[in-house]
């Protein structure tokens, strides 16, 4: 019976088998990917700065503290589906995430994005506890627009406003998250130490400016 019990526990509690409500972003994924292709065609032969300014990028930053928040389902979905831009690659059971938010007084910061082509919805998020950014993830649909830099900028400002002097951030090489490996380094962080031989802890050296082509709502 031991093997049966083992597989029962895997099926019931593995992050990969956790169910979530189908979100608007998932339902519209095909159309949003099509619009991404159209958006990138616009950049052909155009100055990069001029192109980014032409998109009219609007970003709204939200804080998610519990299961009742209307953005929670999408945040949980993005967290467990993202591989490329995922600073630690950690997968969460819903009970684990909810317990973390309550017992560790953690906060999920999310970025809802829209441009002149579409409303992309919640496409980037980070989990913060105390003075540490535990995990940062972003959809590949908005690579190259500076959304991750804008979100990091706002998170750090809010953390400093709350009285935190020095912000740290965790990074782990999963073999699939090369897109996020240098995220903190390129935003002014320095490697502080390595925990358990694999988890890098980066320390800030000041808040970097948000991209000037992004407007915060």
pLDDT digits (tens, 9 = 90+) for 2-43: 566 655 555 555 555 554 555 665 555 566 566 566 666 666
pLDDT digits (tens, 9 = 90+) for 163-209: 999 999 999 999 999 999 999 999 999 999 999 999 999 999 999 99
210 has a pLDDT exceeding 80: yes
pTM over the 0.75 mark: yes
pLDDT digits (tens, 9 = 90+) for 45-84: 789 999 999 999 999 999 999 999 999 999 999 999 999 9
pLDDT digits (tens, 9 = 90+) for 102-157: 887 899 999 999 999 889 999 999 999 999 999 999 999 899 999 999 999 999 99
pLDDT value for 105 = 81
For the four alpha carbons of 85, 86, 92 and 96, in that order, the dihedral sign comes to negative
Q: How far apart are CA 146 and CA 209, in angstroms?
A: 11
């Amino acid at each position: 019976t031991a093997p049966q019990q083992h597989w029962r526990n895997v099926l019931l509690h593995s992050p990969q088998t956790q169910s979530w409500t189908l979100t608007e972003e998932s339902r519209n994924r095909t159309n949003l990917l099509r619009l991404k292709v159209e958006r990138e065609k616009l950049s052909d032969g155009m100055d990069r700065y001029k192109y980014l300014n032409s998109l009219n990028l609007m970003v709204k930053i939200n804080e998610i503290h519990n299961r009742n928040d209307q953005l929670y389902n999408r945040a949980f979905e993005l967290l467990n589906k993202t591989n490329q831009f995922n600073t630690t690659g950690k997968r969460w059971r819903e009970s684990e995430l909810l317990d973390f938010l309550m017992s560790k007084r953690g906060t999920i910061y999310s970025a809802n994005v829209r441009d002149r082509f579409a409303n992309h919805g919640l496409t980037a998020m980070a989990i913060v506890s105390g003075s540490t950014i535990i995990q940062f993830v972003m959809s590949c649909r908005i690579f190259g627009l500076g959304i991750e830099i804008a979100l990091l900028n706002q998170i750090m400002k809010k953390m400093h406003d709350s009285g935190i002097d020095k912000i740290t951030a965790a990074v782990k090489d999963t073999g699939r998250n090369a897109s996020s490996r240098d995220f903190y380094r390129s935003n002014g962080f320095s490697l502080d130490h390595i925990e358990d031989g694999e988890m890098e802890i980066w320390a800030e050296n000041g808040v970097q400016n948000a991209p000037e082509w992004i407007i915060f709502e």
